[in-house]
Amino acid sequence: MAAFPFTIAATDGKARTGVLSTPRGDIRTPAFMPVGTAGTVKALTVEQVAATGADILLGNTYHLMLRPTAERVRRLGGLHRFMRWEKPILTDSGGFQVMSLSQISKVTEDSVTFQSHLDGSRHVLTPERSIEIQADLLGSDIVMQLDELVALPAERDRAAEAMRRSARWGQRCRDAFGAREAQALFAIQQGGTDEALRAESAERLREIGFDGYAIGGLAVGEGHEAMCEVLDYAPGMLPAERPRYLMGVGKPIDIVEAVYRGVDMFDCVLPTRSGRHGQAWTWDGPLNLKNARFAEDEEPLDPTIPVSASRDYSKAYLHHLVKAGEILGQVLLSWHNVAFFQALMGEMRAAIAERRMEAFRRDFAARQKAR
Ligand SMILES: CCOC(=O)Nc1nc2cc3nc(NC)[nH]c3cc2c(=O)[nH]1
């Protein structure tokens, strides 16, 4: 069943480091996936994204099915060729985006019906249609099941109902996906912040059998502590020999705490979104480049990070670009931030391999605060 071999090279407590091998390339884990919402990691060329060390990026089904439409992407050779990224791509199923972006959406057992936030046109997503869009039209390497998540805090009965529907949709996605070998299908665990519901979700999904298991329904406003409490037990409920993917996470400290608890894959818009707003992430916490203290700071952001945005440009110049509202400021800070997140993942892969993740976690948290 396992379409993609996942080799765990070392473990340190609950943390793991390894390689998820796909026909389009290997993904070193723990891995961070830059988000390429509408077929672009905002403000960056694919060459700049590759230079950060990213092994895989994320594409959004919701956005691409609305514009330029999945059928057009297919006619143009699929998403890899369309955006010139020949490494692995993971696409989401569209469910979360529908719930958070479309004004009108209606969920039934059969499907999610919604209106486009672009032109109000009506669309229907079923588990089968989501698989067709992702696997056949966009041609992604890792396909996500269609799921139904509830915003927190959620009534237990509501969370249970959405979790059980997600598991039924997982079965329908598994059936629609069929016996493909060159692509993988990941499940999504739901259940809110309820341990028993999370366990039931994991058992239902494990019985169906998937190539990887995502932890959904988090990073939806519950806060860092509540998320960590769920992560104290949720990753361990999922099959240990398959990748575990925490969706939509997160700030560097969130990622470190989740890797420490056994999570292997992450995606978040934070590096590019905060870069567009003048923020640079560093080992000592985030810097706001609008701040006057950088006006004549001739040092680069971080000479140890192998992209020119981090290594070659002075903070004084970045400060100027941000104050002037120059597009290049958004480009350079987005590029640096994605490269910083990749450097963070690389440091954790090394820390786990050398059995010093506990010390890394402690030192990282201390440095992020001491600003
Ligand atoms: C990336 C795959 O996503 C899906 O197909 N469904 C899904 N996506 C989520 C995205 C999320 N982003 C955040 N915070 C920024 N929380 C998320 C949860 C889900 C989810 O439960 N389910």
Residues 30, 131: one domain? Answer: yes
Task: Report the nearest-CA residue for atom 19 of ligand 1.
Answer: 216
Domain end, chosen from 202, 234, 267, is at 267
Residues 227, 292: one domain? Answer: no
Residue 29 lies in a domain: yes
Read off the tokens for 113.
């019906």
Q: How far is the CA of 324 from the centre of ligand 1 (A)?
A: 35
ipTM of the complex: 0.96
Residues 328, 249: one domain? Answer: no
Task: Report the nearest-CA residue for atom 3 of ligand 1.
Answer: 92
What are the angstrom distances between the C-alpha of 315 and each of 108, 320, 336?
52, 8, 12
Q: How far is the CA of 61 from the centre of ligand 1 (A)?
A: 12
Q: How far is the CA of 313 from the centre of ligand 1 (A)?
A: 35
What are the angstrom distances between the C-alpha of 309 and each of 277, 304, 327?
16, 11, 13
Residue 220 lies in a domain: yes
Q: How far is the CA of 92 from the centre of ligand 1 (A)?
A: 8
Taking only the tens place, the pLDDT of each residue in 132-190 is: 999 999 999 999 999 998 877 889 999 999 999 999 999 999 999 999 999 999 999 99
Residue 115 lies in a domain: yes
Is 264 labeled as catalytic in the residue annotation?
Answer: no
Task: Report the nearest-CA residue for atom 12 of ligand 1.
Answer: 248
Residues 279, 214: one domain? Answer: no
Q: Measuring from each residue's beta carbon to the nearest atom of ligand 1, which residues come in under 6 Å?
A: 92-93, 95-96, 144, 147, 149, 188, 216-220, 247-248
Task: Look up the CATH number of the domain holding residue 231.
Answer: 3.20.20.105
Report yes or no: 272 and 35 within 8 Å, Cβ to Cβ: yes
Task: Report the nearest-CA residue for atom 15 of ligand 1.
Answer: 248
Residue 199 lies in a domain: yes
pLDDT of 96: 85
pLDDT of 369: 78
pTM > 0.90: yes or no: yes
Tell whether 363 is in a known binding site.
Answer: no
The residues of the chain scoring below 50 in pLDDT are none
pLDDT of 152: 75
Residue 154 lies in a domain: yes
Tell whether 190 is in a known binding site.
Answer: yes
Residues 214, 300: one domain? Answer: no
Residue 331 lies in a domain: yes
Pocket test residue of 96, 190, 266 for ligand 1, highest count of atoms within 8 A of CB: 96
Cβ neighbours for 43, distance < 8 A, ≥ 6 positions apart: 272, 275, 276, 327, 330, 331, 334, 335
Tell whether 21 is in a known binding site.
Answer: no
Read off the tokens for 246.
């925490």
Is 92 labeled as catalytic in the residue annotation?
Answer: yes
Phi, psi of 142 (to 5 degrees): -120, 120
Q: How far is the CA of 244 from the centre of ligand 1 (A)?
A: 13
Which of 55, 254, 267, 302 is flagged as catalytic?
267
Domain end, chosen from 267, 286, 305, is at 267
pLDDT of 3: 74
Q: How far is the CA of 197 from the centre of ligand 1 (A)?
A: 18
Residues 166, 304: one domain? Answer: no
Pocket test residue of 126, 190, 213, 247 for ligand 1, highest count of atoms within 8 A of CB: 247
Tell whether 100 is in a known binding site.
Answer: no
Measure the CA–CA gap between 354 and 255, rounded to whole angstroms.
19
Residues 228, 339: one domain? Answer: no
Tell whether 92 is in a known binding site.
Answer: yes
Residues 186, 296: one domain? Answer: no
For 15-47, give one letter per residue: b (16+ CB within 10 A) or e: bbbbbbebebebbbbbbbbbbbbebbbbbbebe
HSE-up of 105 (CA within 13 Å, CB side)? 20
Residues 90, 203: one domain? Answer: yes
Q: Give bridge partners of residue 25 from the DSSP assignment.
A: 22
Residues 150, 297: one domain? Answer: no
Tell whether 39 is in a known binding site.
Answer: no
Residues 358, 242: one domain? Answer: no
Residues 239, 195: one domain? Answer: yes
Taken in order 63, 67, 69, 73, the sign of the CA dihedral is: negative
Taken in order 125, 173, 189, 30, the sign of the CA dihedral is: negative
Residue 1 lies in a domain: no
pLDDT of 371: 56
Measure the CA–CA gap between 193 and 352, rounded to whole angstroms.
28
Domain end, chosen from 232, 267, 302, is at 267
Measure the CA–CA gap between 233 and 84, rounded to whole angstroms.
39
Which of 92, 254, 264, 302 is flagged as catalytic?
92
- Domain range for 163 is 6-267
Count up the domains in the chain and report the number. Answer: 2
